[in-house]
Amino acid sequence: MELRAGMRLRSAVDTTEVVVVRPGSGDVDVRCGGAPMVTATGPAGDSVGEPAAGFDAGTQIGKRYEDVESGVELLCSKPGPGSLSIGERSVPVKETKALPSSD
């Protein structure tokens, strides 16, 4: 799927929804719970099934998920039991940068 900044995606297997912060380049296979994510246009449909084993670590609202290899960054806008991946590669929570002290 060709991603664009601001694009909203939702999981086909659970309640997870994300917003694309950085799209990366080219076609990217964004998944949640092991199943490809779909565009979140129109009313939410019913989730079918549940996350696959190994892709059931969950997503947390307000957290950014970053795949360094593809350059994709996603912001979780609705949490769920499925975890994010690019193909079979898990996408971890983006590390926060430490702010300088104000002493």
Q: Is residue 84 part of a domain?
A: yes
Contact (CB, 8 A) for 92 and 65? yes
E strand map for the chain: 8-10, 17-23, 30-32, 35-36, 38-39, 64-67, 72-78, 84-86, 89-90
Q: Is residue 72 part of a domain?
A: yes
pLDDT recorded at residue 83: 96
Model pTM score? 0.86
- Residue % of the chain over a pLDDT of 90: 72
Q: Is residue 95 part of a domain?
A: no
pLDDT recorded at residue 79: 95
Host domain of residue 53:
8-90
- If one counts the domains in the chain, the total is 1
Work out the average pLDDT over 3-26: 94
For β-strands 84-86 and 72-78, DSSP reports them as unpaired
Work out the average pLDDT over 59-83: 95
pLDDT at 99 over 90: no
Q: Which sign does the torsion angle of CA 78, 42, 87, 2 carry? A: negative
